[in-house]
Homo-oligomer: A and B are copies of this chain.
């Protein structure tokens, strides 16, 4: 199919899906979860063929990790789909209803965005999550995964098609496309039919999409995330939060990269370093930290703005909350940052001043996650401020319309309109 036909079919499907009932849309998601369960061996086989080819082509290990879609990962997706199916319908709901002094009723009604184009690398689970979240919110989806995952993605696309057809909805409501880079560039010009582009992947991919697209883009840049241990922190809690934020999944965007510690806690700082050493995390420190632990590597300026995505942490001693906030706002990526403190005033100052999508108090940065936050899954974590910020679920894939109800309301006096009184 040419790109114009793909986007046109997506538009037509979005009109039909926008008029489908919540029960119909949920039935498709249920059908997909049943198919994932029933056809697991086939999916695993397709994925293994992708993985084998990627290995032969010398793909780096971390990409192979992301490409893998074995039984455990499939089971996790089945659980996610069941959660998404059970969520309340994100569209059709009215809110912010008001009655104006002139008698007009005004309300906002949640509506789908239309056609959502998602461009992503590796991870086949995005093909499941993105399809489900777009459909839950009554949008149609065009999903363009990485070529390294093509066999698995094509099969998942076929399963979406079967699940849609079973309910009588067009299979084009979720289109899995491959297509060359030139074709993607063409798709990014289809601003008449595609309503939103979400690129997920490396910085280069996101920048290339943002620069060449005429369609609005929501960007998911990297996370340079911090935990700040305040003077008034419970140190035991702080150590657990720092370890969880760093070690549970060092490869995800909301993993901590820099630990900031109030300099008054110098007696406690070696405990953090010991724990990181125990867990196999390489520690790099500022000068003050190295005075306390001379064995660790020196952090250089570049460290403070690096997303390691690995078992490495940089530690900096700061004077107070204000110093911590300034560091985070200067070096961080406005993604996810946490404070550990028992002092409400310090917590409030941090929460107010840190300019990030997600700000946590006495909790691990791991909780910046759509599934933990009750979204069933997330389509990504937006680092933009416009439209959606932080974890994006089905509700973040909606817009609204303003509905105004009157009883013959007019603003001027129609009897006063005449040839003579007319404006021009």
Q: Chain A residues in contact with chain B, CB under 8 A? A: 19, 98, 100, 102, 104, 106, 109, 111, 113-114, 195-196, 210-211, 214, 216-218, 234, 236-237, 239-241, 243-244, 247-251, 278-281, 310-311, 351-353, 355-364, 366-368, 372-374, 384-387, 389-391, 399-412, 414, 417-420, 422-424
Q: CB distance A239 to B414 under 8 Å?
A: yes
**Given A109-B351, A240-B414, A278-B418, 7 more contacts at CB 8 Å?**
A104-B363, A240-B408, A248-B411, A359-B401, A362-B409, A387-B387, A389-B401
Contacts of A422 in B (CB 8 A): 247, 250, 279-281, 311
C-alpha spacing A55/B91, complex, angstroms: 51
* Pairwise interchain contact B216-A412, C-beta atoms closer than 8 A: no
Known contacts: A409-B364, A411-B372. The answer to whether A358 contacts B404 by CB under 8 A is: yes
In the complex, residue of chain B having the shortest beta-carbon distance to the beta carbon of A251: B423
- Interchain residue pairs with CB less than 8 A apart (23): A19-B353, A104-B367, A114-B385, A196-B386, A216-B217, A237-B408, A239-B414, A243-B410, A243-B414, A247-B412, A280-B419, A311-B423, A356-B401, A357-B401, A357-B402, A358-B404, A361-B406, A363-B404, A363-B406, A363-B408, A363-B409, A367-B404, A367-B406
Residues of B within 8 A of A351 (CB): 109, 403
In the bound complex, CA of A411 to CA of B214 (Å): 40
Give the residue name and chain of the B residue nearest to A384 (CB).
B216
Rounded to whole Å, the gap between the CB of A36 and the closest CB of chain B is: 25
* In the complex, the 3 A-B pairs of residues with the closest C-beta atoms, listed nearest first: A363-B406, A237-B408, A280-B419
**A280 and B374 form a contact (CB under 8 A):** no
Q: Which residues of B contact A216 (CB under 8 A)?
A: 216-217, 384, 386
| A400 / chain B contacts, CB cutoff of 8 Å | 389
Contact between A402 and B359, CB atoms less than 8 A apart: yes
- Please give the distance in Å from A41's CB to the nearest CB on chain B: 27
From the candidates B251, B364, B414, name the one contacting A410 in the complex (CB within 8 A).
B364
Residues in B whose Cβ lies below 8 Å from that of A399? 385-386, 389
Instruction: Give the number of copies in the complex.
Output: 2
A216 to B102, CA, bound (A): 36
Across the interface, which residues of B come within 8 angstroms of A417, CB to CB?
243, 247-248, 278-279
A211: chain B residues at CB < 8 Å are 214
B386 near A423 with CB under 8 A, answer: no
Cβ contact of A195, chosen from B310, B386, B403, B419, cutoff 8 A: B386
C-alpha spacing A351/B406, complex, angstroms: 13
Distance between Cα atoms of A389 and B196 in the complex (Å):
14
Query: In the complex, which of the residues A195, A210, A356, A385 has the most CB atoms of chain B within 10 Å of its own CB atom?
Result: A385
**A98 pairs with B385, CB closer than 8 A:** no
In the complex formed, the residue of B with least CB distance to A237 is B408
Neighbouring B residues of A420 by C-beta, 8 Å: 280
B359 and A424 within 8 A (CB): no
Complex contacts, A240 vs chain B, CB 8 Å: 408, 410, 414
A406–B360 CB distance below 8 A: yes
Could you tell me if B248 and A278 are in contact, using CB atoms closer than 8 angstroms?
no
B411/A402 in contact, CB under 8 A: no
Contacts A422-B247, A424-B310; A113 near B241 (Cβ below 8 A) = no
Q: A100-B373, A417-B247 are in contact. Are A405 and B362 (CB under 8 A)?
A: yes
Cα distance A386–B279 in the bound complex, in angstroms: 43
* A360-B404 contact in complex given A386-B195, A412-B366, C-beta closer than 8 Å: yes
Q: What B residues does A210 contact at CB under 8 A?
A: 214
Nearest opposing residue in chain B for A310, CB measure: B424
